[in-house]
Amino acid sequence: MPNHYAASLLRNLRNRILIDAVIVDMLRMDIRPDETQLRFRCPLCGHFHTATNSKTNLARCFDCEKNFNPIDLVIAVTHCSFVDAVERLKKRSHWMG
Ligand SMILES: [Zn+2]
């Protein structure tokens, strides 16, 4: 079933809700805060060989060789649908940088 969200809304959720805030404050993922990089437990492989990129607003797992934008990450961690992930992120729009 196609979704009817405006492309601009989806772009804003992907690009402007900071990936670090999604990891730490929204999803409360396991992290290793003592590193210079924000390393989070990859929802796919469970390892911490990960990093976030503030320029691209993506979270990457180097073992899985996979990038997660905020929508991807909410789906991977909570196993929710695309629509649910968008609705959850919309509630955090006040975080947009
Ligand atoms: Zn992984």
Tens of pLDDT, residue by residue over 15-38, are 999 999 999 999 999 999 766 889
pLDDT at 1 over 50: no
Ion ligand 1, residue ranges at CB < 5 A: 42, 44-45, 61, 63-64
Q: Where are the domains of the chain?
A: 7-95
pLDDT band at 97 (very low <50, low <70, confident <90, very high): low
Expressed in angstroms, the distance from the first to the final Cα of the chain is 31
Tell me the CATH number of domain 7-95, given options 3.90.180.10, 3.90.580.10, 1.10.10.10, 3.40.50.620.
Answer: 3.90.580.10
Alpha-carbon distance 60 to 53, whole Å? 8
Mean of the pLDDT values across residues 40-60?
A: 97
What distance in angstroms lies between residue 38's CA and the mean position of ligand 1's atoms?
A: 15
Strand partners, 50: 61
